[in-house]
Amino acid sequence: MLDRIIRGGTVLDGGLGAARQMDVGIRNGKIVALGDLHETEAGEILDASTRTVCPGFLDIHRHADLAVFRPEFGELELRQGLTTIVNGNCGMSAAPFGPAHRTEILSYLSPVIGTDAPVCPDSMADYLDAVNARQPRINVGMLAGSGVIRADAAGFAAGPLSAEQLRNVHKGIETALADGALGISLGLGYAPDCFYDTKGLIEALAPLRNGSVPIAVHMRDEGTNVDRSVSEMLTVARALNCPLELSHLKAIGTENWRRKIPAVLEVLARSRREGLRVRWDAYPYTAGSTQLLHVLPPEVLEGGTEVLTRRLFDPTVRDHIRKRLAEGEDYNNISKLVGWENIIVSSLRQPENRDVLGLRIPEAAALRGQDEVDFTLDLLRSEHCIVTMIDYITCEEDIQAILRSDMVSLISDATYPSTGQPHPRLYGNFVRMIERYVNQLKLLTLPEAVHKMTRSPADALGLKRKGRIEIGADADLLIFDPADLHEAGSFEHPARFATGIETVLVAGVPVLKNGILTGAAPGRAASR
């Protein structure tokens, strides 16, 4: 007797093979039978005879570290087919860190993971326990952020680590992994991870040597020097002999569009042939979203956001920033790479700044009678640096080249701002992959698109029971008609649920059934 049978669906198993019609039998949260199960009894039969059945989608690059504790968490994710998300990306994770640098670390994390939940665990084990105690609707995995681990050991000071600090970084990594982190994330574009040089990075990540734990990296430079940044990470992966995931691969900047990515993809293909375990991921939008303070040169971030807020009163610092914004080419100088007009203020906290929310920087600056630099610095100062932006940074041709490449996983990089507008990827990312790139543009076949949202991301993090339909796999499953999928949100109106995902099972239990939440919450902290 099975718990459930999904009957007669057109099954995509997460691999690249064609769909096959079959029944899927489920017991105790696992897939236990495949094929013709007409003779088998089950507690419930879910008819899928005119539907596609595939593994639930995984988003291995999200920033829901604190959002998982919001009461509504899980719905916008389920409605785009997600059954597992992974947080703790870009060097920033809600754990582990102790009291030594807590205030600075929280202000470093808050623009990306928010400030809204009272969860502040010291260890990754405590964090994952809190996730399980909260009983989410979907599964939640964590990476341990290298930036957090470094800041816990050494604050936000630049330069190489002392021997004792390095020992503490190693201990932080080892403990987080033993506690259940699925990998280590790096935020090399941000302080304090940007203070590692290549050699220092290899030393810091020594606990990963010759293992199967992946490094997921937000690279040092995603613009003019993205090729150098890729080479740096290939050097690190070669030295450590460990798996490497290049996060949100792109080339920022009008000058770099259509030029850098084809060359980078060739280098990556060559590295794979050489035997390096390198993979990459991307989100399917030409605009990104991050903290506004990342338009600034990284050296001014030393000491954390409160220190920066105070520095922004200093005319010497402001002159330095103005000069660097005009000339700097040694970092992701976003306003120079894409122009201020491609940067939109998307969330902030102070009521007196509400008038500039949703505006492009030149419009907002004009409203205040300022130039773009003074406006941006004053806005950051008045918001204590906690402002997010939507920035139009990449081009569609590059996105398509990356999505077509063989080792890519689809990710969202979604954040969950508690005020202002989110990026539409928060709601629509995974449905968009099929609606736009399979149904409309025919860039990918349906099995390819599903693969890049299921088995590929599961393999990237070594989640061997997820992202596939096979005997023994976790019964995280979707039932839908691909022709019906629709991303309802847009940049103007992002907060709209995607439509068309009808039924979602997590651990064998229907959580969404014919478009209605069932109230079940079988999600767990994801582990290998």
- Smallest distance, Zn ion to C-beta of residue 418, A: 20
Name the one range near Zn ion by CB under 5 A: 45-53, 121-129, 215-223, 514-522: 215-223
Q: Specify the amino acid at residue 224.
A: T
Q: Which one, 67 or 450, has the nearer CB to Zn ion?
A: 67
Q: What is the contact mask toward Zn ion in residues 38 to 77, using x (rule: CB under 5 A)?
A: ----------------------------------------
- Smallest distance, Zn ion to C-beta of residue 482, A: 29
The DSSP symbol for 73 reads T
Q: Which one, 247 or 335, has the nearer CB to Zn ion?
A: 247
Query: Taking Cα atoms as reference points, which of 445, 440, 451, 432 lies closest to residue 501?
Result: 432
Q: Which one, 29 or 111, has the nearer CB to Zn ion?
A: 111
Q: Which one, 218 or 432, has the nearer CB to Zn ion?
A: 218
Beta pairing partners, 486 = 499
Name the one range near Zn ion by CB under 5 A: 86-94, 220-228, 366-374, 449-457: 86-94
Q: Which one, 143 or 395, has the nearer CB to Zn ion?
A: 143
Name the one range near Zn ion by CB under 5 A: 210-218, 324-332, 468-476, 500-508: 210-218
- Smallest distance, Zn ion to C-beta of residue 291, A: 10
Provide the token pair at 243: 């798996």
- Smallest distance, Zn ion to C-beta of residue 285, A: 14
Which of 218, 220, 260, 466 touches Zn ion by CB under 5 A? 218
Largest CA distance in the chain: 79
Q: Which one, 58 or 90, has the nearer CB to Zn ion?
A: 90
Using CB under 5 A as the binding criterion, the count of chain residues that bind Zn ion stands at: 2
Q: Which one, 63 or 436, has the nearer CB to Zn ion?
A: 63
Query: Angle CA(289)–CA(104)–CA(331) in degrees, nearest 5?
Result: 45
Q: Where are the alpha helices (DSSP H) in 405-445?
A: 425-434
- Smallest distance, Zn ion to C-beta of residue 289, A: 10
Which 3 state secondary structure label does DSSP give 305?
A: helix
Which of 90, 249, 265, 373 touches Zn ion by CB under 5 A? 90
d(CA 70, CA 65): 10
Report the run of H or E that residue 75 belongs to, with start and end: helix 75-78
d(CA 434, CA 446): 7
- CB of 477 closer than 8 Å to CB of 56: yes
Can you say whether residue 476 is alpha, beta or left, with left for phi > 0 and alpha for psi between -120 and 50 degrees? beta
How distant, in Å, are the alpha carbons of 20, 319, 510 from that of 233?
A: 39, 33, 41
- Smallest distance, Zn ion to C-beta of residue 247, A: 5
Q: Which residues bind Zn ion (CB under 5 A)?
A: 90, 218
